[in-house]
Structure 1
């Protein structure tokens, strides 16, 4: 039986063998430099122009620009626990992309934007107004049309209350919150918000799935739902909790809005009842209410062709 030392030596020699049977001991002291590895192939071109927005309180927000840089501007603001990706059926629409400069924002605490810890980052109305203003100013959006879905009604109201309408051209309230005075203006889906902030991951995920299902009367495909659930779960628990408990104080200011306003609302909305849209339209002088029958909380997704057509009409009527 060979000795342990001989066995180890033989094993090391075999492990050190180079191609062609040459061992490390027999190899020349110097060798030609190895051929560099080929460079990794370039990734696909992004379908948007990325922007980083710096807020007055020091956060960085992610924004995505689509369409015609010379066209009238549209700024899309998403809802609670969502992301800029929810506007996919608008930002990728060929007709809108041909005519308009479209910017979709990940709100603070959402998507790829900063997510600071502490309720003080989410319950101050001026911070939200400042975020909207920062996007408009830093991207030099000329009198953009603000399009706000659901929770983003608060952002639009905060912005108008703080800065007025001088820098915007029009507004589209999409199933958007304009009042907290009447609980009857909210739908059954709000029962999921508490469990969505649970410290138990399984509970939070199950509640998020149920909430997303209630956002649609016309349900998304399995693939689209997976994407939506993924960006919903990018919103951490402290942000979900921080977004709650903020009163609305801008209702009176909406009575002085002097730009074209479209209020878009699904009649079968389970998150924000149709009475919320009717309330918003009654508050804002000269606004137009567009009710979508057989549609839920996401008319921009559930009936994108009609939504996009009406949005284009609004943008063309915007104050310049």
Structure 2
């Protein structure tokens, strides 16, 4: 099912939804220049959808959501958009953030704290951004794509985005998925692609204050977000569990969907038991 909610300022936030309303929600937050379609292998898994309500959002400026002209550097906009999605999804949600989605979750925690959550999963995620920020350290694939991938000039941006998608598409990533990723990147306006990088914000205190279970998942061969970012997040969050996907790249939930989904089911079940 596809639907929408109103984020900060009335911005329309598009959602993909699977599962029954009376089950525990898992809310998925995608990465830079992508959409909720990134989570197709999770939304299509009956082992997840029969036990949980799965809600995958399109961040503002991405996918089928509205594209405001400004405000992408404001932590509050991301926090309130995600809060609106949580209002829709239901109480005690698990948040799953991939790549830039981890920073969006950090923004939510910065504004609202973790009271409404039952747990957090960070998958190939950053939690900070800006020069020298350990929680936002990028890898060689991301560095090679910038700044060309942010250009208004199609002759500059398109080849960079093609190579960015190709470089992530190791043999474990289906070709159709990799091509869809490229399409999603091209659909995001270059002004938005660039605005997401014009931030400088740390999250050390935010992460240290998290008091819910956290699972950090990262591919050891991730060339987009450095594994050092995962080590940083896991080291700052009290009690966080760090799980490496050996030889996986930036898409562990695509490259090893069975293992990832099983891990997500286990983690979500354990957080439910803790609250009972």
Normalising to structure 2: TM-score of the pair?
0.93
* Unmatched tracts of structure 1, length 5 or more: 1-48
**Over residues 291-310 of structure 1, what are the superposed CA-to-partner deviations in whole Å (9 max), with x where a residue is unaligned?**
01110011000011110011
Matching of residue 214 in structure 1 with residue 167 in structure 2: yes
Distance 1:176 1:255 in 2: 17
Matching of residue 76 in structure 1 with residue 33 in structure 2: no
Task: State the Cα distance separating 1:240 from its structure 2 match.
Answer: 0.7
**Over residues 157-185 of structure 1, what are the superposed CA-to-partner deviations in whole Å (9 max), with x where a residue is unaligned?**
11111101110110001111023424993
Mapped contact 1:122–1:242 kept (Cα < 8 A): yes
Distance 1:124 1:184 in 2: 17
How many residue pairs end up in the alignment?
269
Distance 1:63 1:243 in 2: 20
- Helix, strand or coil for the counterpart of 2:80? helix
Mapped contact 1:266–1:292 kept (Cα < 8 A): yes
Matching of residue 89 in structure 1 with residue 38 in structure 2: no
Distance 2:243 2:192 in 1: 32
Match of 1:102 in 2: 54
Distance 2:261 2:118 in 1: 17
Is the deviation greater in 83-92 or in 230-239?
A: 230-239
Which structure has the larger Rg over C-alpha atoms?
Answer: 1
Task: State the Cα distance separating 1:140 from its structure 2 match.
Answer: 4.5
Matching of residue 145 in structure 1 with residue 94 in structure 2: yes
Match of 2:262 in 1: 309
Mapped contact 1:217–1:297 kept (Cα < 8 A): no
Mapped contact 1:217–1:294 kept (Cα < 8 A): no
RMSD: 1.6
Distance 2:104 2:135 in 1: 20
Indicate the structure with greater helix content. 2
**Over residues 17-43 of structure 1, what are the superposed CA-to-partner deviations in whole Å (9 max), with x where a residue is unaligned?**
xxxxxxxxxxxxxxxxxxxxxxxxxxx
* Unmatched tracts of structure 2, length 5 or more: none
Instruction: Give the alignment partner of residue 114 of structure 2, picking from 159, 165, 170.
Output: 165
**Over residues 11-65 of structure 1, what are the superposed CA-to-partner deviations in whole Å (9 max), with x where a residue is unaligned?**
xxxxxxxxxxxxxxxxxxxxxxxxxxxxxxxxxxxxxx22211123121110111
